[in-house]
Amino acid sequence: MKVGVANAFLNGGQTCTAWTRMLVHDDRYDEAVDLAAGIAAGYAPGDPLDPTTKLGPMVSAAQRDRVRGFIRTAVDEGARIATGGAEQPDGIERGYYVAPTVLADVDPDSTVAQQEVFGPVLSVIRYSDEAQALDIANNSDYGLAGAVWSADQDRALAFARRVRTGSIDVSGGRYNPLAPFGGYKRSGVGREMGAAGLEEFLEIKAIQV
């Protein structure tokens, strides 16, 4: 859970690989929401030059307002705020800050679940079985990065292979700089890093006889 929240809030959520949606089975859903909210509450916004700060500002006023707009729209579309929200964070008088926010009861088809937020907002979505989880995971126009967590490594790997993302971590697997990096769908074409990245700079000739 700590890793999931940390990834969602990395660089204030302004990261292309941020895990903005967290899918949790019905059996553990309420527990997961409470855990995520508790962890997120520890990301108090502050001065980015202070080494104790865990959450800095948005890059601009426009981005701050955009992210707050996503939060308000999420609530209008039925989501519940577990922590945070669209208001100015407590104790912050200047700067483009958004409160660390966890949204519960998020509809997979809602705006916040379908768009790239690029802010400290985590949407927790429930599922009832593995097939539904896969449908939700792939129900997006984007597909850059994701993660699967399971006590059963083989089951996690089988699921990861079916998720339409360019890269995916399994049970906390670390980023591999030698692996190709890129996305599916609207997350782009082509690859950087590794052998696939080097091939971007090669000229290939085809000779027909």
113-145 pLDDT per residue, tens: 999 999 999 999 999 999 999 999 999 999 999
**Number of residues written out for the chain:** 209
pLDDT exceeds 90 at position 175: no
Helices (H) and strands (E) in the chain, counts: 7, 8
**CA–CA separation, 81 vs 75, rounded Å?**
7
The pTM of this model reads 0.91
Q: Closest Cα partner for 21 from 96, 87, 151, 115? A: 115
pLDDT exceeds 90 at position 93: no
**What is the DSSP secondary-structure string of 8-49?**
HHGGGG--TT---EEEEEGGGHHHHHHHHHHHHHT--B--TT
Which CATH number among 3.40.309.10, 3.90.180.10, 3.40.50.300, 1.10.3720.10 corresponds to the domain 2-143?
3.40.309.10
99-121 pLDDT per residue, tens: 999 999 999 999 999 999 999 99
**CA–CA separation, 92 vs 78, rounded Å?**
28
